[in-house]
Structure 1
Amino acid sequence: MRRVAAVDLGASSGRVMLGSVGDGTLELSEIHRFWNGPVRLCDTLHWDVLHLYHSMLSGLAQAGPIDSIGIDSWAVDYGLLDTSGRLLGNPIHYRDSRTDGVMEKVLERVSAAELYEITGLQQLPFNTIYQLAAEGLLGQAETLLMIPDLLGYWLTGEVGAERTNASTTQLYDVRAQAWSSELAERVGVSMKLLPELRDPGTVLGTVLPDATGLAAGTPVIAVGSHDTASSVVAVPAADERFAYISSGTWSLVGLELDSPVLTAEAREANFTNEGGVDGRIRFLKNVMGLWILQECQRVWGADDLPALLREAAGAPPFAVLIDPDAPEFLAPGNMPQRIGEHCRASGQEPPQSRAAAVRCVLESLALAYRRTLRSAQTIADRPVDVLHVIGGGSQNELLCQLTADACGLPVLAGPVEASALGNILVQARALGEPLPDLGAMRALVRATHRLRRYEPQGKPADWDAAESRVFGTR
């Protein structure tokens, strides 16, 4: 039996999870959960990465004897080290406004078509390449480390870049599976900033003596350090005809493929080709997730989500709909007010109750999933028989049922802690557990975790009409 610790950092909370993996066994328990979120200092939105590091150490200290540690987090954000290996400043949050208008300036130097041909990435204004174009400390920096690589460096003293997270920077050649020196040069990023790449399952180093308070010599293993890459490892799929939604603050909607899809059709539809574990490609699109609802709850001061969902389930369907990916929903703020303004701008009466607002958000998300999934199947020429919803959103029964209804597919919901499970499975394989491929890992998840199935209900024509209201006719 292997006992390993997964440090799993999401965009709103972090956790240290203890995993036990053995013959027919895959168990997970939460050791320590802690807050994570934006911190505004003057006019800039930061991550409090020192708080994350301290919280990670506190959780690992409670885990007891462990065989290894793995770290995963959200993508695109980074820390910069100086020539002495010191952090130049707290990493800036991807929702910060510093990248406003930057993408357009970069695209004057490298066209969107050229960028996609090399990186295969969805155009998002906060991609790492655009953050670096707006970076004020670049001239002082010696090394760029993505968030999991930064925390791993502090644990071990070893510098490197794990591939699945590197693939989200828009500086990574998705076909060559290497940094693109040509692209870096054209956008003014020195190659010296970009560390040597390492694969999931690589031992990146061992815990330093004395510096952390942890047992020195414990291996730290590079997992699928982009949390979605770890989540997709734990999709309990029985064959290849599946789609997934990694559902949390963001929703990542997509397919798992053997090679990237770099066609003009894929680029125009704004799909991304991100690296996955074992060289797979996560062909997906970022859809605004439960962030909108989370911000509504914050403004309302409403902690009782189950009660809100019960009320929303009884609200009239399709009364009010929004485009959840509209730019006004990206930054923190008064989301109920923004929903009202969005509705008025589209000729709709704003929701008149919290239940109506929740129904609006969830139905609109389900419509975005439907549109994205159908487009992915067409572009990749990959039929889908079942849709797996993993992550925290798999507990939202109303959203799962609406997703099944909208997509016309059975939804299998769970596991909830998919990213931590994927993290743990990659560690266990690196330590010698007989998990030779993703199929074996997924079979173990199916055998040890209960899933909930949602069958499509309602009338497809109603969803057709609703999609037309929000996105127009195709």
Structure 2
Amino acid sequence: MSRYFLAIDIGASSGRHILGSVENGKIVLEEVYRFWNGMDHVDGTLCWDVDRLFNEIIAGMKKCKEIGKIPVSVGIDTWGVDFVLLDKEDNIVGQTVGYRDHRTEGMDEEVYKIISEDDLYARTGIQKAIYNTIYQLMAVKKTHPEYLEKADAMLMIPDYFHFKLSGKKVQEYSEATTSQLINPVTKDWDYELIDMLGFPRGIFQKVLMPGTTIGNLTDEVRELVGYDCKVVLPPTHDTASAVMAIPTNAEDTCYISSGTWSLMGVEMAEANCSPKSEEANFTNEGGYGGKITYLANIMGLWMIQSVRNQLAPDMSYGDLCEQASHETIQAVVDCQDSSFLSPDDMVEAVKDYCRKTNQEVPETLPALASVIYNSLAKCYAEKLEEIQKITGVKYDKINIIGGGSNAAYLNELTAKYTGVGVHAGPGEATAIGNILSQMLEDGTFADLKEARNCVADSFEIKIY
């Protein structure tokens, strides 16, 4: 009889409940529930509706009962940096603000009044991104200090959902590192830094490693879903889960976790917090087994999603990718430019960049897509060079994992611009990594090496 493990993978635009099992030596996935996600405008602020999301979590868990496939355990992964504040009665304090909100504008300068940018990188190894938790907390401190006074706990988004399932307040390591408040050596909160910034240290919860069982479902949740199971922490930051599912055990492996964001990097045993690493804007986020996912955060398919949603929301990404491949426009944009982070009009942002740089302006959706795909591939090539300089390793291939691995034209361009082979797949890498961490905790695999070998045997990997 199959043993099922439930990954709840919540991205910035959608969430999925995916059951994983091993049958005849191969990993089998079954999507049982899917739901929409997105930020809502609440009183001029971009917020997540965590109550609605938790209701979706419960609805998907009920589906498992309906189809007669009760999971051994469940784990949730999401995007990074965002959090909730809870009071002593576990009520949310203030709003659950999303990372694309503009509240953090100028908060970097407030942080740098206390600690310099260079010293902050040397302490944490996390690249500067204006939406990092450190700047969000500074925004709360500056605009709503009463929230921090009232708060009894700070939980990152997936940790909040795990708390709602299990009743246990803990902080998972990979997600915690996106806060820019973790010491990469001790792999715990940098309490000295937290004190310097004037954040209440009591709100920060115990940091646990992915693969840890934190308990079972609460009585209330058991009654709602109709069964009991363990709650196991996967790498709750979706990138760290995706990296677990790289289908190779080669020591020198370069990857791109391709989705709303493109995360390009390598796995390392120890963080690189050097000035050279800071200058190249690489980040040392946490991974499974306490490893470091050393990577650059690139704007990614958010740009494609935005222009498609504006101009042809019913067009499939496969069709858009195919149409873009026939375009001849040569223009490229800087994917890392801040103008593409959260524009009101992505189409106009791309056109405006081309005008300002005296390039041909894309006028159709396929032309816009072609510009974005070429720009991403060019950025990947530049980052590959930087990674090779910093690590001293020459990489002969790139493993592209995640939903973006299905974008054939982008894969072709990546091979062309980087000059190395591209191995694309699996597409459901984040959910697979989530499931692998649960399977490893349950003893399905002896170690991550065996688990990755099984991934390579179970899913189609396309080579470009």
| Pair 165,414 (structure 1): closer, same or farther in 2 beyond 3 Å | same
User: C-alpha displacement at 1:349, in angstroms?
Assistant: 3.1
User: C-alpha displacement at 1:310, in angstroms?
Assistant: 2.1
Find the aligned partners of 2:120 and 2:279 in 1 and give their Cα distance: 12
Find the aligned partners of 1:105 and 1:264 in 2 and give their Cα distance: 22
Equivalent position SS for 2:225: coil
Unaligned runs of 5+ in 2: none
1:190 lines up with 2:191 in the alignment: no
Equivalent position SS for 1:201: coil
1:173 lines up with 2:178 in the alignment: no
Map of 2:210 onto structure 1? 200
Map of 1:461 onto structure 2? none
Identity of aligned residues (%): 38
Map of 1:335 onto structure 2? 346
User: C-alpha displacement at 1:90, in angstroms?
Assistant: 4.1
* Aligned partner letter, 1:132: L
Find the aligned partners of 1:79 and 1:105 in 2 and give their Cα distance: 22
Map of 1:372 onto structure 2? 383
- Aligned with 1:132 (options 137, 146, 161): 137
Map of 1:470 onto structure 2? none
May I ask how many residue pairs the two structures share in their alignment?
A: 452
Superposition RMSD in Å: 1.3
Find the aligned partners of 2:37 and 2:211 in 1 and give their Cα distance: 26
Map of 2:27 onto structure 1? 26
Find the aligned partners of 1:384 and 1:25 in 2 and give their Cα distance: 29
Equivalent position SS for 1:134: helix
* 8 A Cα contact 1:207 1:215, kept in partner: no
Once the two structures are superposed, what CA deviation does each residue of 1:404-457 show, in whole Å capped at 9, x if it has no partner? 111111111110110100010110111122332x21111010011111000xxx
Map of 2:11 onto structure 1? 10
Map of 2:457 onto structure 1? 447
Once the two structures are superposed, what CA deviation does each residue of 1:168-209 show, in whole Å capped at 9, x if it has no partner? 111100111111011101111111111011111111111011
1:311 lines up with 2:315 in the alignment: no
1:390 lines up with 2:419 in the alignment: no
* 8 A Cα contact 2:445 2:451, kept in partner: no
Map of 1:414 onto structure 2? 425
Find the aligned partners of 2:255 and 2:228 in 1 and give their Cα distance: 37
Q: 1:6-405, aligned counterparts within 5 Å?
A: 6-21=7-22, 24-64=25-65, 65-135=70-140, 136=144, 137-211=147-221, 213-215=224-226, 217-304=228-315, 305-317=317-329, 319-405=330-416
* Aligned partner letter, 1:20: S
User: C-alpha displacement at 1:216, in angstroms?
Assistant: 5.2
Find the aligned partners of 1:117 and 1:191 in 2 and give their Cα distance: 21
Find the aligned partners of 1:432 and 1:314 in 2 and give their Cα distance: 48
Find the aligned partners of 2:251 and 2:394 in 1 and give their Cα distance: 9
Once the two structures are superposed, what CA deviation does each residue of 1:338-357 show, in whole Å capped at 9, x if it has no partner? 11111111122311322211
Find the aligned partners of 1:238 and 1:282 in 2 and give their Cα distance: 15
* 8 A Cα contact 1:45 1:93, kept in partner: yes
* 8 A Cα contact 1:209 1:216, kept in partner: no
Find the aligned partners of 1:167 and 1:342 in 2 and give their Cα distance: 33
Runs of 4+ in 1 over 3 A off after TM superposition: none
Once the two structures are superposed, what CA deviation does each residue of 1:122-164 show, in whole Å capped at 9, x if it has no partner? 1000000000000122222110001111001011111100001
Once the two structures are superposed, what CA deviation does each residue of 1:283-304 show, in whole Å capped at 9, x if it has no partner? 1010000111111011103422
Unaligned runs of 5+ in 1: 455-474
| Pair 23,173 (structure 1): closer, same or farther in 2 beyond 3 Å | farther
Name the TM-score, length of structure 1 as normaliser.
Answer: 0.93
* 8 A Cα contact 1:49 1:90, kept in partner: no
Find the aligned partners of 2:313 and 2:175 in 1 and give their Cα distance: 34
Name the TM-score, length of structure 2 as normaliser.
Answer: 0.95
* Aligned partner letter, 1:51: R
> Mean Cα displacement is larger for which, 222-231 or 369-378?
369-378
> Mean Cα displacement is larger for which, 52-61 or 342-351?
342-351
